[in-house]
């Protein structure tokens, strides 16, 4: 794993935006994998700025988000569709039909997962995937114990994830118990990955991910086997 040490969130975001936009400029039809959470927010702002100055276009881009909560629609402030619209999609020219997020309101969740996986395959797999990491080592919502050969699937969120993410909801009990997520094998199929990790509370897990054993107990540890991954972090590793 290549590691780029940066001094703060701003430097991390500038570097991440630079790498993502290089892919978008290089490819005629870039297929992007996108993450939510606090970590990539500034990167999205920088990309919107680049789009507004005419430096980059997303007209031909296709995107697939990593995950979505079960039971939340696009108008729910806690949904990832809402997050993406607010923080990125509404500020750029990606075609709405090309910006994919699993549908947490689907009547058959497993069918929704299968269709999502198929759409990623038909798009030719992800050219460039942005990842964050949870304090328990999850990527997307692949919680500890998820099989390395998993594809897009329904997950039951762990108590620790529900606790950490409850901050995005008005009341703790509003926090969903399930989500849809790309699987670890789907993630590993991406041609290039950046893993953004910021803040001391992620230091123990990042050390484990980079130096520890590759184990399903630490889902992100599988990334050690990815041929083209860059970790961008303000932490010493
Ligand atoms: P965060 O979330 O960016 O809000 O820390 C990362 C994650 O849980 O994957």
Domain ranges of the chain: 2-233
Q: Is 208 exposed, middle or buried (0-12, 13-18, 19+ CB in 10 A)?
A: middle
Pocket of ligand 1, candidates 12, 36, 187: which has the most ligand atoms within 8 Å of its Cβ, to mutate? Answer: 36
Beta strand 128-131 with 193-197: parallel, antiparallel or unpaired?
A: parallel
What mean pLDDT comes out for the span 89-106? 98
67 is annotated as an active-site residue: yes
Q: How far is CA 111 from CA 19, 23, 34, 98, 118, in A?
A: 33, 31, 21, 19, 10
Q: pLDDT for 41-61, tens place per residue?
A: 999 999 999 999 999 999 999
Residue 87 scores a pLDDT above 90 = yes
Q: State the DSSP code for 174.
A: G
Q: Give CA–CA dist 106/24, Å, rounded.
A: 30
Mean per-residue pLDDT for 105-129?
A: 98
Residue 23 CB contacts under 8 Å (≥ 6 apart), including other chains? 30, 32, 127, 128, 192
Interval 204-217 mean pLDDT? 98
End-to-end CA distance of the chain: 11
Angstrom CA distances, 167 to 20, 44, 217, stand at 28, 21, 25
pLDDT averaged over the chain? Answer: 97
2-233, CATH topology level? Rossmann fold (3.40.50)
Q: Is 199 in the pocket of ligand 1 (CB under 6 A)?
A: no
CB atoms within 10 A of CB 25: 12
Q: Which of 117, 127, 143, 234 is catalytic?
A: 143
Q: Is 138 a catalytic residue?
A: yes
Query: 40 falls in which pLDDT band (50, 70, 90)?
Result: very high
pLDDT at 81: 98
Between CA 72 and CA 3 the distance in angstroms is 35
pLDDT tier for residue 20 given thresholds of 50, 70 and 90: very high
pLDDT tens for 149-175 read 999 999 999 998 998 899 889 888 889
Sheet containing 67-69: give its strands across. Answer: 67-69, 178-181, 153-156
Using most ligand atoms within 8 A of CB, pick from 40, 84, 133, 144 the residue to mutate for ligand 1.
133
Query: Which ligand 1 atom is the nearest neighbour of the CA of 135?
Result: 8
């Amino acid at each position: 794993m290549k590691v780029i040490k940066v001094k703060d969130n701003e430097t991390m975001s500038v570097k991440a935006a630079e790498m993502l936009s290089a892919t978008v400029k290089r490819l005629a039809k870039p297929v992007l994998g996108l993450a939510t959470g606090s970590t990539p927010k500034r990167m999205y702002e920088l990309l919107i700025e680049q789009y507004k100055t005419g430096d980059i276009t997303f007209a031909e881009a296709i995107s697939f988000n990593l995950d979505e909560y079960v039971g939340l629609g696009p108008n729910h402030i806690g949904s990832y569709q809402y997050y993406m619209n607010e923080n990125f999609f509404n500020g750029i020219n990606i075609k709405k039909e090309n910006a994919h997020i699993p549908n947490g309101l689907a009547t058959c969740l497993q069918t929704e997962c299968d269709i999502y996986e198929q759409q990623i395959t038909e798009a030719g797999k992800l050219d460039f995937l942005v990842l964050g990491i949870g304090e328990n080592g999850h990527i997307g919502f692949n919680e500890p114990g998820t099989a390395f050969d998993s594809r897009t699937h329904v997950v039951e969120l762990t108590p620790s994830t529900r606790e950490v993410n409850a901050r995005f909801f008005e009341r703790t009990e509003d926090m969903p118990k399930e989500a849809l997520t790309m699987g670890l094998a789907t993630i590993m199929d991406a041609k290039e990955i950046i893993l953004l990790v910021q803040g001391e509370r992620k230091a123990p897990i990042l050390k484990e991910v980079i130096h520890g054993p590759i184990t399903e107990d630490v889902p992100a540890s599988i990334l050690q086997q990815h041929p083209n991954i860059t970790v961008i972090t303000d932490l010493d590793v």
